[in-house]
Amino acid sequence: MNTVTLSVASRADVTRCALAAFDGQAQGAHISFASVELLWQTLTRKRWELLHALTGQGVMSIREAARRVGRDVKAVHSDISALLSAGVIDRAEGGIVFPYDAVHVDFMLTKAA
């Protein structure tokens, strides 16, 4: 199964993983956010619904994605643009693609300082 991990990671953490990958250590697919707030700002409830509709489906048109989530094409286009800008999904010939079969979310919430 082709799984991506969504996480909250510092620049240093991302650099450490990249260097390990350059040394040949498998890291798996990761999409990292600088903060939990940025993760939730990017991955709103409606965008999660889109990711769910795109997961494991291959290339899909925006119109088809809108149909699957029961939303207006213009509104979905706006969310798709945000996900593309954040690097969460990719453009592909014939539409867009989220090239993963599963999503794992990995972050820890701790007490406030």
The rounded distance, in Å, linking the Cα atoms of 4 and 20 is 18
% residues pLDDT > 90 (the chain): 58
Question: What kind of architecture, by CATH, is found in domain 3-102?
Answer: Orthogonal Bundle (1.10)
**Mean of per-residue pLDDT scores for the chain:** 88
The rounded distance, in Å, linking the Cα atoms of 66 and 31 is 24
pLDDT digits (tens, 9 = 90+) for 26-56: 767 888 888 888 888 999 999 999 999 999 9
pLDDT digits (tens, 9 = 90+) for 52-81: 999 999 999 999 999 999 999 999 999 999
Tell me if 32 sits within 8 A of 7, measured CB to CB.
Answer: yes
Hey, which residues does 8 pair with through a beta bridge?
33
Domain boundaries, the chain: 3-102
